[in-house]
Structure 1
Amino acid sequence: MFYTYILIGVKCPKTYVGHTNDWERRLLKHNSGYGVFTKRYGPWKIIHKEEFLTEKESIKREKYFKSAAGRRWMKKNLFENARVAER
């Protein structure tokens, strides 16, 4: 299985989108300072993940989330819902 995931910084409102075949291991790598971007804005928590049968599908979804339409989807479905839940 392959996963597309969205992380959010615990201390700052930065997001990170990626894909992997082991999301738990990947989250640990991000939080241990692996990678320039994730090292700078971590620690991270996962706010969304989707499962796919092929890596190709996972990469396609990652590219979508990085597009303008994907960012709008994230804002509407993840961030606005989170604000409502906090009330």
Structure 2
Amino acid sequence: MGQSEEHYFYVLCCKDDTFYGGYTTDLNRRLTEHNTGKGAKYTRLSKRRPATIIHHEVFETKSEAMKAEYAFKQLSRKQKEYYLENFSKK
């Protein structure tokens, strides 16, 4: 692994129409963890599952990805919606 490992900041849209931002090195594994109730405390609630990845960004370092996650979590709902509409790759 070493330096070739990719670091992701991702955003989930939960069943209750809320957003969850997170960090991982494996998007598929992390989504499975969230949807089986083994992910973050936020997504353990059944009202939030299933969740879907609606946005992700790739970074070279864990630090960069976690800074992006932190910045996203500081935004208001309206700011998050704007970010996702204007910066999403999908």
Q: Shared fold (TM-score greater than 0.5)? A: yes
Please give the TM-score of this superposition, normalised by the length of structure 2: 0.76
Deviation by residue 1:61-84 (Cα, 9 ceiling, x = unmatched): 001101137961x2114369xxxx
Structure number with the higher helix fraction is 1
Deviation by residue 1:2-57 (Cα, 9 ceiling, x = unmatched): 00000011x31111110011111000000011143202111100000000010000
**Residue of 79, 82, 86 corresponding to 1:76:** 82
CA gap of 1:39–1:6, structure 2 versus 1, over 3 A, is: same
CA gap of 1:43–1:69, structure 2 versus 1, over 3 A, is: closer
Contact 1:64 / 1:70 at 8 angstroms: preserved in 2?
no
Q: Which residue of 1 aligns with 2:36?
A: 32
Alignment of 1:4-83 (within 5 A): 4-9=9-14, 11-34=15-38, 35-40=40-45, 41-68=48-75, 72=79, 74-78=80-84
Q: CA RMSD in A?
A: 2.1
Q: In structure 2, what residue type is equivalent to 1:26?
A: R
Q: Where do 5+ consecutive residues of structure 1 fail to align?
A: 81-87
Q: In structure 2, what residue type is equivalent to 1:36?
A: K
Taking every aligned residue pair, what percent have the same amino acid on both sides? 36
